[in-house]
Amino acid sequence: MEKLHSKTVYFVKDSPINNWIKQEFERYDLNTIYIGIKKHSQYLEKSRLVRIVRLHLLYLRSAVEVIIRSKKNDIIVSFLDIHGLYIYLIGKLFLQKRYYIPLNIMINNNADVINKIKLVFYRFYIGNKMVYPTVSSSYLQEKYRLLLNLAYKEFYILHDSYGQLDELETNSCQDEEYCFCGGTNGRDWDFLYLLAEELPEINFVLIGAGVDFSLDHNLPNIKYFFNIPFNEFNKKLSRASVLLMPLKTEAPAGLIVLYSAALLSKPVIISDTLTTKEYVFNGENGFLIYGKDVEKWKSTIRFLMNNPNKRIELGKNNKKKMKQIGSPELYIKDLVKFLEKVMDENSTN
């Protein structure tokens, strides 16, 4: 049997490598090489199209780098699935044999042209026997098999980690009585605006909805913020009463914000999706609401905003639950276990 420590594991991230990742990997007998991407701070000042193009060029450059630096049968772990796709395609182009582990696969079943093209590439990509994908929720396994028409494919469960957010535990701020929603991927800003319009007595802080959206959706009980530093984002979250996240995707969205809220002992009201039901348990650490039942959303928001003791109870439970699911130690331990599984399955190759 081929031992894992005889291979080099390349850990490729779409941002700088967090210290906690290196520290946790050091616990294991692995030859690990890290390749991160440093994004220039001026990117935020560019248009969305320019940011996207430049970011994907960085993905391509690091994909070429990792394929050139690695050797036959090495393992390449990609933190972002689309980044992993670039690495895989470059490897195929150069006729290189690698084991590819894309983490946290994110696929939608939208009918738009871009998503249809993505599904074609992902079916080719994920379907390859050298590719070992992971998902952040057990409910997504069968969903993705059906969506990609890959009935035989195994999707390994690897929950996300709050490792880079651990410093939030020391942050204690008094609630300022508002609902908070922040981020970009999958947030249903139009529905949030509708809720704010229907709940004029409740204040909302929204980060990431977009300048154009805020200009067209102006209400006195909504405050919008854009492109603010990470610590400022978390400060506004720390002062919120509730994390509120209506979503429009079944794919993983908002998990880092969910972890942030949990470490700050905040309860959550969130859409009931194949991802979120793995992390939020109704009435225990927050509330799941299916679809766009406006009255259900309104009554749940009012209930929590009017019951500070219930918020405290759910917030404490949320922190406890996320520590069980997303600790850095458990994340790397499960990832290493998966790496060993990949090597065991290919020990005769």
φ, ψ for residue 224 (rounded to 5)?
-105, 145
* pLDDT for the residue 52: 81
CA dist., res. 4 & res. 129, Å (int): 19
Residues 174 and 41 placed together within one structural domain of the fold: no
* pLDDT for the residue 165: 67
Residues 153 and 47 placed together within one structural domain of the fold: yes
* pLDDT for the residue 263: 92
Residues 87 and 184 placed together within one structural domain of the fold: no
Residues 189 and 315 placed together within one structural domain of the fold: yes
* pLDDT for the residue 139: 94
DSSP-assigned letter for residue 111: -
* pLDDT for the residue 170: 46
* pLDDT for the residue 1: 37
Residues 132 and 33 placed together within one structural domain of the fold: yes
* pLDDT for the residue 5: 59
Rg (CA), the chain: 21
Residues 181 and 193 placed together within one structural domain of the fold: yes
Residue 11 structural domain: 4-161+328-345
- pTM of the predicted structure, to 2 decimals: 0.88
For CA atoms 154, 20, 206, 173, the dihedral sign is: positive
End-to-end, the C-alpha distance of the chain in Å comes to: 10
Task: Write out the H or E segment, with its range, that includes residue 13.
Answer: none
pLDDT tens sequence for the chain (349 residues): 355 656 899 999 998 998 999 999 999 988 999 999 986 555 555 666 777 888 899 999 999 999 999 999 999 999 999 999 999 999 999 999 999 999 999 988 777 888 888 899 999 999 999 999 999 999 999 999 999 999 999 999 999 998 866 555 544 556 689 999 999 888 999 999 999 999 999 999 999 988 889 888 999 999 999 888 888 999 999 999 999 999 998 888 889 999 999 999 999 999 999 999 999 999 999 999 999 999 999 999 999 999 999 999 999 999 999 999 999 999 999 999 999 999 888 876 5
Residues 17 and 155 placed together within one structural domain of the fold: yes
Provide the domain count of the chain: 2
Q: Name the amino acid, one letter, at 315.
A: G
Residues 74 and 170 placed together within one structural domain of the fold: no
* pLDDT for the residue 210: 84
Residues 178 and 242 placed together within one structural domain of the fold: yes
- The rounded Cα 295 to chain-centroid distance in angstroms is 29
DSSP-assigned letter for residue 38: P
- The CATH number given to whatever domain includes residue 279 is 3.40.50.2000
* pLDDT for the residue 176: 80
Residues 153 and 255 placed together within one structural domain of the fold: no
Strands (E), 85-228: 99-102, 134-135, 156-157, 178-182, 203-207, 222-225
Pair of tokens at residue 115: 């998503």
For CA atoms 49, 54, 59, 63, the dihedral sign is: positive
* pLDDT for the residue 41: 54
CA dist., res. 298 & res. 304, Å (int): 10
CB 339 within 8 A of CB 99: no
Residues 319 and 180 placed together within one structural domain of the fold: yes
Residues 200 and 340 placed together within one structural domain of the fold: no
